[in-house]
Chains A and B, each alone.
Chain A
Amino acid sequence: MNVSGAAIAARGVAKRFAGAAALEGVDLDLAAGASLAVVGPNGAGKSTLLRLLAGLARPSAGRIEIDGRPPTHRRARAALGYLGHATLLSPGLTVRENLVFAARLYRVPSPRERAGDLLAAEGLEPLADRRAGALSRGQAQRVAIARALIHAPALVLLDEPFTGLDRGAAQRLAARLAELRARGHTSVLVTHGLEHVRDLADEALVLSAGRTAWRGRLEARGDDLERALAQALEQRERAA
């Protein structure tokens, strides 16, 4: 099923923690249905940007809109699927219950059936009745991805989604993300390396020390993404 993706507009976004700037003056325009990779070294502000886009934190300055609404608006929240560093799973519930819980939160019709379908589609059925707290990192990550996508969100925000996945699971996730992209879902993928970036994104944003270091469309070759990322890494090394 094709969906109408959600557009993102951010102007002069800054986030400071106890006076220290994690992000400063970031602008971002992403059309509905486009895919953006946010890359940069550790501490560049990638995850902070993603949490601001998800409405989990509010910017210290600047403005963010998802389809013309602030990310904290309930309609904006209904449109987004978020996968963070942590899995967001309730450890006391089983895998199936976690998916049913998420489906209920997002008012997905027939939550149990939807959870069952997703378990089958993602090859998670053998884990269905195991508690989330007893899963390995890779298994929990697979469930967390299923959880983030349970309501077929128009905007998908993924923070290092390949972390902890074995090769098979990573290939399955890459195929799933490519499928979402083809169907018109907007996506923002945060990663510190360039693996998967050219396959899964149309555009890239390189962050360095909380600021935009490079922004552009990804071509098969001839863009400056690698150079911009290398410079960001160098800058971080010098700062360290």
Chain B
Amino acid sequence: MNVFLAILWKDLVTEWRSRDRAVAMGLFAMLVVAVFEFALPDGAGERSRALAPALLWVTYVFAALLGLGRAFALELENDALAALALAPADRGWVFLGKAAANLLILGVVQALVAVVFALFFDADWRPIALPLAGVVLLGSLGLCSAGTLFGAVAVRTRFREVMLPLLLLPLLVPVISGAVRATGALFAGAPSVPFEPIQLLIVTDAAYLILGFVGFEYVLDE
């Protein structure tokens, strides 16, 4: 637990000082939202609303990829990754600390993007804000746990910027599928979020969290 908290603190302090990940992710996400706004023809209100869940998650996933790639690249400087690998605890706690920091930083960007998205797409998400936040949290948990695990795998490879999306995107299919369907149901005005996509998200999140916790013992080896 100490290792988890120490790494979470370290990553958040470092990000607060530099803001390089949050700014890069935020700018990228805004750009994508703007492109979608220009790409969709005027008067396509209903069509836009139907596409909104997919567009929102495309924005979230690609912004997350940008941040996840940087999370371990920062640790290469001064071989700081070795300091994490030497921590006297199960390396799973290192994984959880990094994943939690990624989740919090992504969460800030996502909240900002959601507001801009709602403005551009002329949608009032206030009535569904709470369940939507829950769905985004579940989706992001899967995104960040798989992303943290494979970010650590990719960081030691020669083409790490290319390797992370290649490794990660196929694994994110169930996460994206569950998240888009649950978000779509909320946007369509369903009285409650359907259980099936939520179940898929919970199972996938649990699988990636367990895989990350156990697998990190070997992933940090040289």
Q: Is the CB of A80 within 8 A of B221?
A: no
CA distance A214 to B80 in the complex (A): 33
Q: Is the CB of A104 within 8 A of B2?
A: yes
The smallest C-beta distance from B152 to any residue of chain A, in angstroms, reads 14
The smallest C-beta distance from B188 to any residue of chain A, in angstroms, reads 44
Contacts of B13 in A (CB 8 A): 92-93, 97
* Proximity bits, B50-88, A CB within 8 Å = 1, else 0: 000000000000000000000000100111101101111
Q: Is the CB of A56 within 8 A of B82?
A: yes
Q: Is the CB of B82 within 8 A of A84?
A: yes
A105 part of interface (Cβ distance < 8 Å): yes
The smallest C-beta distance from B6 to any residue of chain A, in angstroms, reads 4
Contacts of A74 in B (CB 8 A): 88-90
The smallest C-beta distance from A62 to any residue of chain B, in angstroms, reads 16
Name the one of A72, A80, A105, A133 contacting B83, with C-beta atoms under 8 angstroms.
Answer: A105
Name the one of B3, B9, B85, B88 contacting A56, with C-beta atoms under 8 angstroms.
Answer: B85
Contacts of B161 in A (CB 8 A): none
B200 part of interface (Cβ distance < 8 Å): no
In this complex, what residue of B is CB-closest to A75? B88
B42 part of interface (Cβ distance < 8 Å): no
A58 part of interface (Cβ distance < 8 Å): yes
Q: Is the CB of A58 within 8 A of B221?
A: yes
Q: Is the CB of B80 within 8 A of A88?
A: yes
Contacts of B86 in A (CB 8 A): 54-56, 77, 80, 82, 88
A90 part of interface (Cβ distance < 8 Å): yes
* Proximity bits, A75-113, B CB within 8 Å = 1, else 0: 101101010111111111100010001101111000000
Q: Is the CB of B10 within 8 A of A86?
A: no
A21 part of interface (Cβ distance < 8 Å): no
Please provide the 3 A-B residue pairs with the shortest distance between their CB atoms, ordered closest to farther.
Answer: A78-B88, A86-B79, A92-B14
Binding site for B on A (CB under 8 A): 51, 54-58, 72, 74-75, 77-78, 80, 82, 84-93, 97, 101-102, 104-107, 132-133, 140, 147
Binding site for A on B (CB under 8 A): 2-3, 5-6, 9-10, 13-14, 17-18, 74, 77-80, 82-83, 85-90, 217, 221-222
